[in-house]
Amino acid sequence: MGYCSGRCTLIFICGMQLVCVLERQIFDFLGYQWAPILANFVHIIIVILGLFGTIQYRPRYITGYAVWLVLWVTWNVFIICFYLEAGDLSKETDLILTFNISMHRSWWMENGPGCTVTSVTPAPDWAPEDHRYITVSGCFLEYQYIEVAHSSLQIVLALAGFIYACYVVKCITEEEDSFDFIGGFDSYGYQGPQKTSHLQLQPMYMQIPLDNN
């Protein structure tokens, strides 16, 4: 019962991860955040493999899924540090998330709840011609905190998925070991005692006459 409950819980967690990361992927596409887009895509593939492994009782797939979750947590911790500007990171000047190929920011920067966008004209000389120079005000929640909330949710789901993935792998391994133990004698060519007949064979003696001639 516990194994079935853990397996069903892991399937639910994988489903929640897919829903949340797909929602996040949409907004990262809208904000041209290429590094998160790539990370989200890999995460989607790994979660699908982990879900397949859970349904089909494939411990190797689940193990790979658990290993990836460690990297996924690390990535989301970096995202949190980036938007909170921990250390030397700066969300305003660093273009890490766009691979330094554009000056786009998070989609939530201009489209957050209550945000008012005002275009500034004329634009500064340093501003690229294909970008508009704006100011954002009146936001109920700043965009960096929305991004931090997204990453925090991913970390919570990843930790839960890691715990249940390890539990399910442990249960599958123990179940396979128990089956091997029960059928192990057959694999080594063990044969049970054969049914013997109670009839015993007696030696026969024949007398051959000798020729007197």
Flag whether 148 is in a domain: yes
* Stronger pLDDT, 31 or 121, i.e. the higher one: 31
User: What is the rounded CA–CA span in Å between residue 158 and residue 10?
Assistant: 11
Flag whether 198 is in a domain: no
Flag whether 157 is in a domain: yes
pTM: 0.75
- Token couple for 98: 């766009």
User: What is the rounded CA–CA span in Å between residue 169 and residue 173?
Assistant: 6
Name the band, by pLDDT with cuts 50, 70 and 90, for residue 6. confident
Flag whether 107 is in a domain: no
Q: 8 is in which domain, residue-wise? A: 1-86+142-182
How many folded domains does the chain comprise?
A: 1
Say if residue 128 is preceded by a cis peptide, omega within 30 of 0: no
Query: How high is the pLDDT of residue 208?
Result: 61
Query: How high is the pLDDT of residue 134?
Result: 63
Flag whether 39 is in a domain: yes
